Chains A and B, each alone.
Chain A
Amino acid sequence: MQSNGDRIRVIIAKVGLDGHDRGVKIVARTLRDAGMDVIYTGLHRTPEEVVEAAVQEDVDVIGVSILSGAHMTVFPRILDALKAKKADDILVVGGGVIPDDECEALKKLGVKEILLQDTPPAEIVAMVKRVVTERGTR
């Protein structure tokens, strides 16, 4: 069911000790400029804190930016925490520095999409709109 005011809500998160925040700021601005409401968590969150925030903020999408190499532990913990809260209609996407084979592994686990270095803004916007449309209204 749509109403005039509906907007895609996204939470953009940095998890763990990863202090690289240039990409995350670009992604946040890009999505805002496409008309979305973007909640930014700030640095150094735990996967469980991100999921709790995502539930309270009722977001459509969690976007995790990860350049630290910890992606193979962070994404599974986020997916698990979502299932534990019966909130797996919230979609998980990611970006940053992640080897190709591990991107594939993460997608098999349930991460909807991962976009790496030099992804143009329009592509990031199109991806978020696509995964939300594919999920449908809720």
Chain B
Amino acid sequence: MAYIPSVDLVPRALAGDERAIARLLTRAENGTAEARPAFDTLFARAGRAHVVGITGVPGSGKSTLVSKLAKAIRATGRTVAIVAIDPSSPFSGGSILGDRIRMGDLGGDPGVFMRSMATRGALGGLARGTLEAVDILDAAGYDMVLIETVGVGQDEVDIARAAHTTVVVSAPGLGDEIQAIKAGVLEIADIHVVSKCDKPDANKTIADLKNMLMLGMVAGKPAWRPMVIPTSAPQDQGVTELLAAIDRHRVALDTSGEISARRAMIDERRLIKASEEILRDRFEQHRHGRLAALLGNVSRREMSPHSAATRLIAELGEYA
């Protein structure tokens, strides 16, 4: 089989061809240089989809919830794409991507596209290429794009700089997790879900969360106040309410004008991340050239690491 140039895949992807979309997603994940012009075109065509992030500690029930939410979205007639991220092994670089295990119900519906992605060493809960993947699915016409992050702990809050609406999932019975995660992840929530409410200690988790939200409440009348939604997968509870809240959040963003601020925040993060990646790739390419030479200066203490870095970046810029 011959290599299909990425620019030739673009019109097919825009027309909704699953194979073309899937191949472009692979190239986004791999950071394939040949595909950059194609991604640029797709970026220009994107911007219509409502992007929703689903995050929470490992095993909190994200995939189960995403599956149910996708069904609810389909029931309203909208189409939905899912990007579900799992960690790569730091040892082999490989991964086992298991989010599909909970999404068996979604098979056979052409209005749903589900893709697994590995982090490939990226920190922050997303994968390298996640946002290009969102562009591709958005441009291909999916009305909503759901991003399931890696199971996150404290500091992995990148999702709030990637999605228009962020849902944080907490499950009862995972210890004193509310205390543990409140610092980072809880603050980014537009909507809180307490999953597994068929379990006995769910009420305490709901009460704890509501208390915390009260403490953090600001005076006046903000455009949006985060709420707590209890869900249970086996009892089919809470998902309609969750979708209604997600839709209301989108309306609130639009009517308050806050959506522009969110978009600007997402763009800023992407610009900075992309710059970092370009620099990192160039470092790799010049590992044996300028980097090695400057390293010599540092090890002889002729130059501090900071001055050498300044010099290195200036010189790498000249090679661009």
A and B associate in one complex:
yes
Contact: A55 with B31, CB < 8 Å?
A: no
Total CB contacts across the A-B interface at under 8 A: 111
Instruction: Confirm or deny: B57 has a beta carbon within 8 angstroms of a beta carbon on chain A.
Output: no
Asked if A49 contacts B108 (CB within 8 A), the reply is yes
Tell me which residues from 16 to 34 in chain B have a Cβ below 8 Å from any Cβ of chain A: 18-19, 21-23, 25-26, 29-34
Known contacts: A58-B22, A58-B25. The answer to whether A32 contacts B94 by CB under 8 A is yes
Number of interface residues of A (CB under 8 A): 40
Asked if A102 is an interface residue, CB under 8 A from chain B, the answer is no
B218: interface (CB < 8 Å)? no
Known: A55-B22, A57-B116, A136-B1. A36 touches B94 (CB 8 A): yes
* A135: interface (CB < 8 Å): yes
Residues of chain A contacted by B26 (CB below 8 angstroms): 9, 58
Q: Is A37 interfacial (CB-CB < 8 Å)?
A: yes
Contact A28 B96 (CB under 8 A): yes
Contact of A6 among B18, B30, B116 (CB under 8 A): B30
- Asked whether B118 is an interface residue with its Cβ less than 8 Å from the other chain, the reply is yes
A44 to B2 alpha-carbon distance, docked (Å): 34
Q: Determine if A38 and B97 form an interchain contact, defined as CB atoms under 8 angstroms apart.
A: yes
Residues on A with beta carbons closer than 8 Å to the beta carbon of B37: none
Interface pick from A65-73, A82-90, A93-101: A82-90
Whether A38 contacts B104 by the Cβ 8 Å rule is: no
| Chain B interface size range | 35 or more
Chain B residues within 8 Å of A131, by CB = none
Please state if B100 and A41 are interface contacts (CB–CB under 8 Å): yes
B82 to chain A, nearest CB (A): 10
User: Interface 1/0s, chain A 23-61, versus B by CB < 8 A?
Assistant: 000001101111111111110111011001101111000
Determine whether B107 belongs to the interface, using a CB cutoff of 8 Å to chain A: yes
B62 contacts partner chain A, Cβ-Cβ < 8 Å: no
Cβ of B120 within 8 Å of any chain A Cβ, yes or no, is yes
Q: Are B101 and A40 in contact (CB under 8 A)?
A: yes
- Whether a CB of chain B sits under 8 angstroms from the CB of A4 is yes
Residue in A5, A34, A57, A136 whose beta carbon sits within 8 Å of that of B32 in the complex:
A5
Asked if A87 contacts B96 (CB within 8 A), the reply is no
The verdict on A3 contacting B96 (CB below 8 Å), with A86-B19, A136-B1 known, is: no
A133 to chain B, nearest CB (A): 13
* Interface flag for A107 (CB, 8 Å): no
Closest to B4 in A: A138
How far is it, in angstroms, between the C-alpha of A41 and the C-alpha of B106 when the chains are bound?
12
B1 and A7 form a contact (CB under 8 A): no
A1, A33, A58: most-surrounded residue (chain B CB, <10 A): A58
* B30 and A3 contacting across the interface, CB-CB below 8 Å: yes
Which residue in B2, B100, B113, B128 is a CB contact (below 8 Å) of A138?
B2
16 other contacts beyond A36-B94, A45-B104, with CB at 8 A cut-off? A1-B3, A4-B284, A7-B118, A31-B94, A32-B94, A33-B89, A38-B94, A38-B97, A40-B100, A41-B101, A42-B100, A48-B107, A56-B115, A57-B116, A58-B19, A138-B2
Q: List 6 A–B pairs whose Cβ atoms lie within 8 Å, in order of A's numbering.
A: A7-B118, A29-B96, A55-B22, A58-B22, A86-B19, A138-B1
